[in-house]
Amino acid sequence: MKILFIGDIYGKAGRLALHKYLPLIKEKYEVDFVILNAENTTHGRGLNIKNYAEIKNAGVDFITLGNHAFDNNEVCTLLKNKSDIIRPLNLKDVYDGDGSKVVKIKGMDVRISNVVGRVHVNMKGLTTLNPFDTLEDIVDFSKEKIHIVDIHAEATGEKKSFAKYFDGRVSAVIGTHTHVQTADNQVFKNGLAYISDVGYCGAYDSVLGVNNGAAILFSKDQDFKSNTPEEKGDLEFSAVYIDIDEETGKSNSIKRIYITPNKPEIELIN
C-alpha cells in the first residue's frame, strides 16, 4: 500500500503548491491514498469550509489537524459532518470531531490517528492529555493491521520517543508542525516508518509560510499581532511516500519529496 502524507498547508501559497504538484506526483508514482495536515490552510490559521472543498478537489483523501485546529470556527462544522477529517485525539474536554478514524483503502480497514505534543506547543487555552497514553488506549483495542499516526509536535525528541514507544504496534508515525522537513526518514527495526517532520507547503521565500517582515517583527520585537502569510513568489512542497506491507502492516520504506525552486524535480529521496 502506497501512502502519500503531505506536510502542513500554509495559506493561499500552500493551496497553490498543492494544486500544482499533487496531480503530478499521483501521475508519476503509484499512490493509493493521500493524507494532508490542514491546520494552517486558511490564512495560516485553521481550516474553513471553502478551503476544505478546495484541498479535497486537489485530490486529498484525508485531513489531519493540530494545535491551530480550532482557530477557525467553521472547522467544527467539518468535524461534525465530514468523515475524512480528524483533530488531535488527546484534547481534553473537546467534543467536536474524532481523533482517530478507520478508512477503506484498497478494500482494507486502515486506521488514521492524530495527536498533539506537550513540549513547547501553544494550545491557546486547550488542555492536552498524555499523547502516549491516549493513543495506547486506541492501539490496545483496534484490530486494523495498518495504522498511520500524525504527531503534531514541536520537539523532535518528543516525536521520536513517541515513535519508538509504538514501534511494532503502528505502521507509521509522521511528525508535523515545525514546517521544516527533516532528513531522518527511516523504518525502525519493528517496521514503523518515521520522520521527525514532513515539512510544509507554501511560499518558499518566507519564514515557515509567514511574510518575512511580519516574521521578523514577531521574533525580534515580540509583536504577536503580525502573522501575515506570504502569498506571492515561488512555492515549496513537502511530503513523504510510505510503502506499507498489506499483509503485516509493517512499513517497507519511507521516502521524502521536497520540491523548491532550487530542486524542482519530483523525486523520491531515501
Q: Note the pLDDT of residue 84.
A: 98
pTM of the model: 0.97
| Neighbouring residues of 125: CB distance < 8 A, sequence distance ≥ 6 | none
Interacting residues of 259 by C-beta distance below 8 A, sequence separation 6+: 17, 21, 235, 236, 237, 238, 265, 266
**226 falls within a domain:** yes
pLDDT at residue 224, as a whole number? 66
Tell me, yes or no, whether 107 lies in a domain.
yes
pLDDT at 122: 87
Instruction: Say if 269 falls within a structural domain.
Output: no
Active site residues: 68
Give domain status of residue 268, yes or no: no
If the chain, 270 residues long, is cut into consecutive pieces of 10 residues, what is the mean pLDDT of each piece?
A: 98 98 97 98 96 98 95 96 97 94 98 96 89 97 97 97 98 98 98 98 97 90 79 97 98 98 96
Residue-by-residue DSSP string for 7-25: -EE-HHHHHHHHHHHHHHH
- In degrees, to the nearest 5, what angle opens at C-alpha 39 toward C-alphas 199 and 74? 165
Number of structural domains found in the chain: 1
**Residue 176: CATH number of its domain:** 3.60.21.10
In a domain, 70, yes or no: yes
Residue 189: helix, strand or coil by DSSP? coil
Domain annotation covers residue 158: yes
Range of the domain at 112: 2-259
